Amino acid sequence: MSEQETKKRNPKFYWFVFIGTIIIVFLLGLFASSIIERKAEKVYTLQMVKPINDWEPRNEIWGENFPREYETYLQTLDTNFVSKHCGSVNIDYLEKYPELIVLWAGYSFSKDYFQGRGHAYAIKDIRNTLRTGGNTISPQPSTCWTCKSTDVPRLINTMGAENFYKMSWFDNGEQIINPIGCQDCHNNKNMDLQITRPALVEAFQNMGKDITKATHNEMRSLVCAQCHVEYYFKSEGEYLTLPWDKGFSVDDMEKYYDEYNFSDWTHALSKAPMLKAQHPDYELFTTGIHFDRGVSCPDCHMPYKSEGGIKFTNHHIGSPLQNPTNSCQVCHREETEDIIRDVYERQEKVEQLRRLCEKTIAIAHIEAKIAWDNGATEQQMKPILTLIRHSQFRWDYVAAANSMGFHSPNEALRILGTSIQKGEEARRLLAVLLINLGVNYPVNLPDYTTKDKAQKFIGLDMNAIIKDKIEFLKTTVIEWDKKAKERQGSLMEY
Ligand code: HEC
Ligand code: HEC
Ligand code: HEC
Ligand code: HEC
């Protein structure tokens, strides 16, 4: 075609190119938005072969209708996967970080604290942990069962939340036997996502929000926020409550607890009124870039899977690093090794500051005890104990949240930074006080470099505690299971 001819081309041609381009851009736009929305589409037409009763707690019954989801759910029993900082192996955190025992002196976490594992283990693990005690030592309230079982919504429906929480942990043992499962997240009639835990609904109400108005994409994370959140047991009724009234940040929650004058326990060494952060996974996640961009928990933890041409949601919830191809590379083009390196790099920075906090706060508790022993007054100690309380809450907020900070690395580092600052400020005040009291400074520290030594230092009689637990598992638990079998409470063997 000569130049001359081009110039003389029919104007219709330009219109054609113009409109064609618009159509292509439009289609590309649709394609891009479908990539983003793809994560939240309905994957196949659901067919309910057998109707499921209201409050059906047994996962195997739901599994008859949805074998793919059920089979992948059962894979949460696999405990082989281990990454640098997470995974499904039962790592003993007290052995790994013995300072934690000093941090939790006087509180049951100093007896036993293991890394979490798959949902199907929830009942087994809460029965086994030394924190729930044995036949004679420190039984917990029934509230402790709330995040462990599909039997909980069933019981709350019959007796009401208030009455459920009020009971003792023992009283409901025989009723609660099915681990976290289908009913916790799904409506039995149409499989829509649903919220079954009153605490989350009430927390929304207190913030002036109606959780039933949440979008489908929000629901995909809110089903997890039923349990993966910070919480406390309110006053005598042990009423499960999320401290969100002032907001989601660690500063907001600290203010909330201070105003309410709440403490989980009094520290055995420093006598500080302490807060135990639980696992604010949802809250920390909402401060990160993925939440900002509309990514939800299942996008990484429950990616789609295809089997025999059918696409479904993989219910093997665990570390996304088990499967970066399906969980991260749907959105990120980087190679698998680069993706894993990104995660590890962020986690290592968080761990570095986290360890500094643990070392500082442990010493602060011990120095505070020495100050009391040498005649410090309430008035002298008060500002110091407040700093220790805040420092430890901030450390725990990041430490107890899963993912070693990956869900929101910047916020995790900010929180740990303020924890170190408060811990060191407490130690500065303690140094002046100790010198004024005539104590040699720096003080001599005891040896708490292993789990065994640290537990001895804080005065735990681990032999008695373990004996009591073994007795409990051999008597009470056997009895619970017998009664449950009689009423066909569970068919699942694990
Ligand atoms: C962008 C992806 C992504 C999203 C979204 C996400 N996570 Fe994670 N999560 C991770 C990664 C990566 C890890 C660290 C895994 C590792 O180190 O093995 C992790 C770790 C965890 C762990 C610990 C896993 C283990 O193996 O011990 C839990 C629990 C968890 N996330 C819960 C949640 C919850 C709840 C949400 C939503 C509020 C959420 N995650 C949203 C990527 C994500
Ligand atoms: C912790 C919450 C949770 C639990 C427990 C859970 N699911 Fe799901 N399930 C989800 C989420 C999230 C989706 C994706 C829903 C969406 O985006 O529409 C899903 C999707 C589904 C779907 C729709 C089809 C598909 O695969 O996407 C079925 C069917 C299903 N789940 C069955 C089950 C069964 C059976 C169990 C018990 C063995 C179970 N689920 C346990 C959260 C859960
Ligand atoms: C009913 C409460 C409950 C709900 C709902 C729930 N979780 Fe969990 N989750 C737990 C408990 C409890 C554990 C620890 C179980 C154990 O260690 O025995 C856990 C463990 C995990 C782990 C660690 C698994 C491993 O192998 O290390 C991941 C990851 C996780 N949950 C992600 C999620 C995601 C994502 C959702 C929402 C789709 C969700 N959870 C919903 C209570 C819940
Ligand atoms: C549904 C899409 C989606 C999934 C799945 C997803 N990401 Fe992302 N990720 C994003 C978006 C969007 C951003 C923000 C990047 C931007 O806007 O440029 C982001 C940002 C990041 C960043 C940079 C964050 C920072 O610190 O600035 C890292 C690292 C990352 N993702 C890792 C992961 C890993 C690891 C996984 C899997 C466990 C994962 N992502 C899964 C969408 C996703």
pLDDT, one tens digit per residue, over 344-368 is 999 999 999 999 999 999 999 999 9
Nearest of 322, 287, 279 to residue 303 by alpha carbon: 322
Which band of pLDDT confidence, cut at 50, 70 and 90, is reported for residue 217?
very high
The separation between CA 37 and the C-alpha centre of its own chain, rounded to angstroms, equals: 26
Choose one of 42, 121, 180, 185 to mutate for the ligand 2 pocket test, by most ligand atoms within 8 angstroms of C-beta. Answer: 185
- Sign (positive/negative) of CA torsion 293, 295, 296, 297? negative
Q: What angle do CA 343, 344, 348 make, to 5 degrees?
A: 125
pLDDT at 31: 56
CB 231 within 8 A of CB 278: yes
Token pair 């459920």 in the structure block, residue: 164
CA distances from 153 to 175, 225, 338 (A): 12, 15, 42
C-beta of residue 365 within 8 angstroms of C-beta of residue 390: no
Residues in the chain: 494
Give CA–CA dist 389/419, Å, rounded. Answer: 10
Query: Which of 63, 286, 282 is CA-nearest to residue 181?
Result: 63
d(CA 15, CA 21): 10
The separation between CA 398 and the C-alpha centre of its own chain, rounded to angstroms, equals 10
Amino acid 6: pLDDT: 47
Rounded to whole angstroms, how far apart are CA atoms 387 and 425?
A: 7
Beta carbon of 191 within 6 Å of any ligand 2 atom: yes
Testing ligand 1's pocket by substitution, the residue of 78, 85, 86 carrying the most ligand atoms inside 8 A of its CB is 86
CA angle 193, 197, 198 (to 5 degrees): 125
Residue 184 Cα: closest atom of ligand 2: 5
**Ligand 3 surroundings by CB, under 6 angstroms:** 88, 116-119, 121-122, 125, 147-148, 180, 184-185, 223-224, 226-228, 297-298, 301-302, 317-318
% of the chain with per-residue pLDDT over 70? 93
Contact call for residues 458 and 108 (beta carbons, < 8 A): no
Whether the pLDDT of residue 70 is over 70: the answer is: yes
User: Which residues lie below 8 Å from residue 231, measured CB to CB, with a gap of 6+?
Assistant: 199, 240, 241, 242, 243, 278
- Alpha-carbon distance of 166 to 298, in angstroms, equals 33
Whole-number Å distance between alpha carbons of 260 and 374: 31
Q: Grade residue 388 by pLDDT with cuts at 50, 70 and 90.
A: very high
Dist. CA 182–CA 202, nearest whole Å: 22
Radius of gyration of the chain (CA): 27
118-130 pLDDT, tens digit per residue, is 999 999 999 999 9
Residues 255 and 382 sit within 8 Å (Cβ to Cβ): no
- Ligand 4 center–CA 5 separation, angstroms: 51
pLDDT score of 343 more than 90: yes
Q: pLDDT band at 485, cuts 50/70/90?
A: confident
pLDDT at 225 over 90: yes
Looking at residues 186-200, what average pLDDT do you find?
96
